[in-house]
Amino acid sequence: MTISKEVREKVQQRANYACEFCGVRETDVGGTLTVDHYQPQSRGI
């Protein structure tokens, strides 16, 4: 599955650039988190 750059950016912004599972931030790891770190809005989170 390919995610567009625009959708990825919106998800990152919504999640405040942090993993919604463990809380690690992109600044903590020094790079972009993979999209599987973010919870889908359909989960109600």
Nearest Cα residue to 41 out of 10, 1, 2, 18: 10
Across 8-22, b (16+ Cβ under 10 Å) vs e yields eeebbeebeebbbee
Report the pLDDT value the prediction gives residue 25, as an integer from 0 to 100: 92
Query: Per DSSP, what are the bridge partners of residue 25?
Result: 18
What pLDDT is attached to residue 1? 63
**Would you state the structure tokens that stand for residue 4, as one six-digit string?**
């567009």
CA angle centred on 6, ends 37 and 20, rounded to 5°: 20
- Statement: the pTM of the whole predicted model exceeds 0.85: no
pLDDT in tens, 1-45: 678 899 889 988 988 999 888 889 999 999 988 877 776 666 555
